[in-house]
A and B are shown apart, each in its own frame.
Chain A
Amino acid sequence: MNLPTLRFLTCGSVDDGKSTLIGRLLWESRQVFDDQARALERDSVRWGTQGQELDFALLLDGLEAEREQSITIDVAYRFFSTPRRRFVVADAPGHEQYTRNMATGASTAELAVLVVNAGKGLLTQTYRHARIASMMGIHHLVLAVNKMDLVDWDQAVFARIVEGMEPLQNELGFSSFQPIPLSALRGDFVTRRGENAPWYRGPALLDLLEQIDVAPPGQDEEFRISVQWVNRPHPDFRGYCGRVTSGVVRPGDGVRILPAGTESRIRSIYLGSEECNRASAGQSVTLCLEDEIDVTRGCVIASVVHPPEVSDQFEARVLSLSGHPLFAGRSYLFQLQTAQAAATITAIKYKTDLQSGMRLATHELRQNDIGVVNLSLDRAVPFEPYERQRLMGAFILIDRLDNQTVGAGMIGFALRRAANIHWQALDVNKNARAGQKAQRPLCVWFTGLSGSGKSTVANLLEKRLYSQGRHTYALDGDNVRHGLNRDLGFTEADRVENIRRVTEVARLMVDAGLIVLVSFISPYRSERELARSRFAQDEFLEVFVDTPMEECERRDPKGLYAKARRGELSNFTGIDSTYEPPEAPELRLDTMLSSAEECVDSILREMEMRFAQPDQPRIEEKPL
């Protein structure tokens, strides 16, 4: 029987002979070409550590720095095949400072060959690597006790090492565990059984690799696919591209789109240009749905019967990858499948001592540390615990400043389970609410100096909208500062918080299907950008009420400028606090040239233009 490609990892302490072992596997499975063999003979003389013998490790340590120092710095990927199976080998570095590279190799491997030097026994790195392999979700472990020739194939040495490994095997619970005595240098028990250990009854390494079945035990996996790319070449085709993460899907199957929670059915499935009647885990496909609903990169299309959870708070195991330690309170970019979010580590619960497994208190995760943290995201993402579905639970953290990948994480569980119920029961959603009101929800954000005319224009606009049968609400300093924001003053920090709260209230109102008119001075560009970022692109209209300072002061409807000039008001915008005018507002109103009525006309025109755009009214998609 032919089994699918086996991806395995070799690991273990430095000098235990990992590279030699793989070199031997390549050599014996006739993967080394004659010109490479001649190069190997040359290199062995120059850099070899085996005297007159071929140094197989040199087949793998491809970087000059590695050859010079006889160590492996990076993960090397090698391919070989036998008549029975194809293999991808990740050769991971042994030095402690390269633990992250080992984790990289482990992340895509199904089996680990942990190499131990028979002469040295179990070392710190042996324990570390067994633990990392287990944490990274590898369920099959081969303990390759190498250099047995140097201990005269002494059965007692082998037995001691295997015995020493037992407590860890019991703790980590690999589903298969096979110790093999071998000599990578001589070749015994690598590709064939040797004569030297008649007491060993198990398989040679290659026999085991050819025959082991690493498929997870037979539970039916639910269908999931993460959308990578939306294919929309013309109005008649709208396909969602991705690689099926798990399960099987057929045309006609009901699916749920997450995180939105909307539902549809599969209309058709394409593999390349060929339409097919099923897609299963591992295939790269394009799916078309029955309904025109909002699906973008980052969404998961899942079985409607058992969709994955959706949450914005997790407990996760994180490996720190870079020279910058990970801290609680710091914000990172988060990538899980194709979904992106901003993530903050809210707490570092502990780090794991990789030798003993002990939990140690810490306030930071340094390079190569593995710890358990709480993460909070700025939006909810679909996921599954890493233990259940590797790819649906794996994420990376990216530093916002230098764009380096600084962390690799595995989700344990969601911290806010209530989110599941909330996000999955979204049949009455924004589109439905807006549809009932026969309007498009929108936030019109007026910014400008005190006395520029924001409230005058907003009030007039609300009257006009009301008379057209629209459902509106106006938020301004008068109705917000006296209640919700009563506790806030006029310092910079308070102004920022003021705007944040107003933004969130406006967002809820837009979600309720309303047209919201916000008139706040909102002097800082960054806060207005933050406000904008909380809305969909077509739901936010920034209106700059552009009235010169002198004119505002002349109008001074509330007598505030006079007070500020007298020193009775501090932090007054325009006088002792700055106003940053918008750089690219959707609309700029010049109140020196236009009347309030004319200003309202231009806003209504802008709104109509948006309404008129052809593919916009999503409210008709899902009649209730």
Chain B
Amino acid sequence: MHASDLAALEAEAIEILREAVALASRPVMLYSIGKDSSVMLHLARKAFWPAPLPFPLLHVDTTWKFREMIALRERVAAQPGVRMIVHTNREGLEAGVTPFTCDSERYTTVMKTVALKQALDAGRYDIVLGGARRDEEKSRAKERIFSFRAAGHRWDPKMQRPELWNLYNARLGPGESIRVFPLSNWTESDIWAYILEEKIEIVGLYLAAERPIVERAGQLLMLDDGRFPLLPGETPRRKMVRFRTLGCYPLTAAIESRAATVAEILAETRAARMSERQGRLIDHDQTASMERKKQEGYF
């Protein structure tokens, strides 16, 4: 890949961001604190400079994010021109829904999908920017850049609007919304190449370091705080690991790696033999699980 490919991806993403904002009455950007969110935020700053971000950032906080993630979120929220909305599903929290007490499907539904819908309804957002990419997963490959959601945030693959050229139809009826994915055509390698080139701040967990790890069902899980219940016979060991994706800490597994700089991550990503979502435990619940979750309104 050469530089002009990355420049073209950047130009396309900025075009999509501007189109979304020009067509929206109440836009919002989902901010997950992950590397794709960091890239989105950087692109948004470029797209609208010198104006401040023309939308708030929305973080759905399950209360099970890694501490380093929350620290970065707070740094971003303190930057000038950033309005950060943090939403947690209080009912879910009070009902005791945690990744250790529920199966991953129920936990994801209550603390992520339902929480997201609550926050979107509360803000009456009509255009919701997200960092999903088509290369992440098979059902994502068919996703539109402007993805139509019926009332109740439901995604119906048969109701999607044809998307020709660079023309996006953002007209909506009551209760309907559109999720917009400016990074649709980026790959994991593109994301790292861009982070390297633009020196974008990311959560340190992406970089390899020695961390306390337990191995469970073939997955390397990191102990981020005292809430991690150890099973009998489990002892944490220190291992050189890093994360390819970041979600809730008990549901996101680390990989063994010595890539401690962004340049090394890029090299490792290009040589990778495993897909990015290998560490996402929730995707393996059932075949086509991503498609089902999306139909219910998951990002």
Is the beta-carbon distance between A394 and B5 smaller than 8 angstroms? no
- Bound CA–CA A116/B165 (angstroms): 26
> Which of B18, B21, B137, B142 has a CB less than 8 Å from the CB of A75?
B142
Is the beta-carbon distance between B161 and A404 smaller than 8 angstroms? yes
- Bound CA–CA A5/B3 (angstroms): 11
Is the beta-carbon distance between A33 and B274 smaller than 8 angstroms? yes
Is the beta-carbon distance between B162 and A76 smaller than 8 angstroms? no
User: Which chain B positions have C-beta within 8 A of A63?
Assistant: 139, 142, 157, 288, 291
- Which of A34, A79, A273: most chain B CB closer than 10 A? A79
Is B134 in contact with chain A by the CB < 8 A criterion? yes
User: Which chain A positions have C-beta within 8 A of B162?
Assistant: 100-101, 103-104, 321, 405, 408
Is the beta-carbon distance between A64 and B172 smaller than 8 angstroms? no
Identify the closest chain B residue to A228 (Cβ).
B18
- Bound CA–CA A333/B169 (angstroms): 10
Is A423 in contact with chain B by the CB < 8 A criterion? no
Is A196 in contact with chain B by the CB < 8 A criterion? no
> Which of A81, A103, A104, A286 has a CB less than 8 Å from the CB of B1?
A81
Q: How far is the CB of B227 from the nearest CB of chain A, in Å?
A: 29
> Which of A36, A60, A88, A282 has a CB less than 8 Å from the CB of B185?
A88
Is A62 in contact with chain B by the CB < 8 A criterion? yes
Is B110 in contact with chain A by the CB < 8 A criterion? no
Interface 9-residue window, one of A182-190, A229-237, A300-308, A533-541: A229-237
User: Which chain B positions have C-beta within 8 A of A408?
Assistant: 162, 164
- Which of A33, A270, A283, A284: most chain B CB closer than 10 A? A284
Is B48 in contact with chain A by the CB < 8 A criterion? yes
Is B163 in contact with chain A by the CB < 8 A criterion? yes
User: Which chain B positions have C-beta within 8 A of A108?
Assistant: 164-166
> Which of A5, A35, A270, A335 has a CB less than 8 Å from the CB of B169?
A335
User: Which chain B positions have C-beta within 8 A of A396?
Assistant: 164, 167, 169
Contact with B along A385-403 (1 / 0, CB 8 A): 0000011001110100011
User: Which chain B positions have C-beta within 8 A of A88?
Assistant: 185
Is A357 in contact with chain B by the CB < 8 A criterion? no
Identify the closest chain B residue to A395 (Cβ).
B167
Contact with B along A93-130 (1 / 0, CB 8 A): 00000001101100110000000000000000000000
User: Which chain B positions have C-beta within 8 A of A232?
Assistant: 51
Q: How far is the CB of B246 from the nearest CB of chain A, in Å?
A: 18
Is the beta-carbon distance between A5 and B5 smaller than 8 angstroms? yes
> Which of A2, A64, A237, A321 has a CB less than 8 Å from the CB of B291?
A64
- Bound CA–CA A231/B22 (angstroms): 11
- Bound CA–CA A447/B31 (angstroms): 51
Is the beta-carbon distance between B138 and A62 smaller than 8 angstroms? yes
Is the beta-carbon distance between A33 and B50 smaller than 8 angstroms? no
Is the beta-carbon distance between B11 and A62 smaller than 8 angstroms? no
Is the beta-carbon distance between A272 and B49 smaller than 8 angstroms? yes
- Bound CA–CA A196/B223 (angstroms): 57
Is the beta-carbon distance between A391 and B46 smaller than 8 angstroms? no
Identify the closest chain B residue to A74 (Cβ).
B142
Is B67 in contact with chain A by the CB < 8 A criterion? no
> Which of B4, B50, B134 has a CB less than 8 Å from the CB of A77?
B134
Is the beta-carbon distance between A229 and B18 smaller than 8 angstroms? yes
Is B19 in contact with chain A by the CB < 8 A criterion? yes
Is the beta-carbon distance between A391 and B22 smaller than 8 angstroms? no
- Bound CA–CA A62/B143 (angstroms): 10
Is B257 in contact with chain A by the CB < 8 A criterion? no
User: Which chain A positions have C-beta within 8 A of B134?
Assistant: 77-79
Is A241 in contact with chain B by the CB < 8 A criterion? yes
Is B15 in contact with chain A by the CB < 8 A criterion? yes
> Which of B165, B185, B288 has a CB less than 8 Å from the CB of A391?
B165
Identify the closest chain A residue to B187 (Cβ).
A79
> Which of A101, A270, A337 has a CB less than 8 Å from the CB of B49?
A270
Is B278 in contact with chain A by the CB < 8 A criterion? yes
Is the beta-carbon distance between A229 and B278 smaller than 8 angstroms? no
User: Which chain B positions have C-beta within 8 A of A402?
Assistant: 173
Is the beta-carbon distance between B164 and A103 smaller than 8 angstroms? yes
Is B8 in contact with chain A by the CB < 8 A criterion? yes
Contact with B along A62-100 (1 / 0, CB 8 A): 111101000001111111010000101000000000001
Is the beta-carbon distance between B8 and A77 smaller than 8 angstroms? no
Q: How far is the CB of A93 from the nearest CB of chain B, in Å?
A: 10
- Bound CA–CA A86/B135 (angstroms): 14
Is A338 in contact with chain B by the CB < 8 A criterion? yes
- Bound CA–CA A4/B7 (angstroms): 11
Is the beta-carbon distance between A391 and B166 smaller than 8 angstroms? yes
Is the beta-carbon distance between B15 and A405 smaller than 8 angstroms? no
User: Which chain B positions have C-beta within 8 A of A62?
Assistant: 137-142, 291
Is B216 in contact with chain A by the CB < 8 A criterion? no
Is B261 in contact with chain A by the CB < 8 A criterion? no
Is A297 in contact with chain B by the CB < 8 A criterion? yes
Is the beta-carbon distance between B14 and A36 smaller than 8 angstroms? no
Identify the closest chain A residue to B14 (Cβ).
A284
> Which of A78, A100, A284, A403 has a CB less than 8 Å from the CB of B10?
A284
Task: Beyond the given A5-B8, A62-B141, please list 19 additional residue pairs across the A-B interface where CB-CB is below 8 A.
Answer: A35-B274, A35-B275, A60-B141, A63-B288, A79-B135, A79-B187, A81-B1, A100-B162, A101-B162, A103-B162, A228-B18, A241-B48, A243-B11, A243-B166, A282-B11, A284-B11, A284-B12, A395-B167, A405-B161
Q: Across the A-B interface, give the 8 residue pairs with the lowest CB-CB distance, nearest first.
A: A62-B138, A272-B46, A284-B14, A233-B51, A33-B275, A107-B164, A403-B171, A284-B11
Binding site for B on A (CB under 8 A): 2, 4-5, 33-36, 43, 59-60, 62-65, 67, 73-79, 81, 86, 88, 100-101, 103-104, 107-108, 228-229, 231-233, 237, 241-243, 270-273, 282-284, 286, 297, 321, 333, 335-338, 390-391, 394-396, 398, 402-405, 408
Binding site for A on B (CB under 8 A): 1-2, 4-5, 7-8, 10-12, 14-15, 18-19, 21-22, 45-52, 134-135, 137-142, 157, 160-167, 169, 171-173, 184-185, 187, 272-275, 278, 287-288, 291
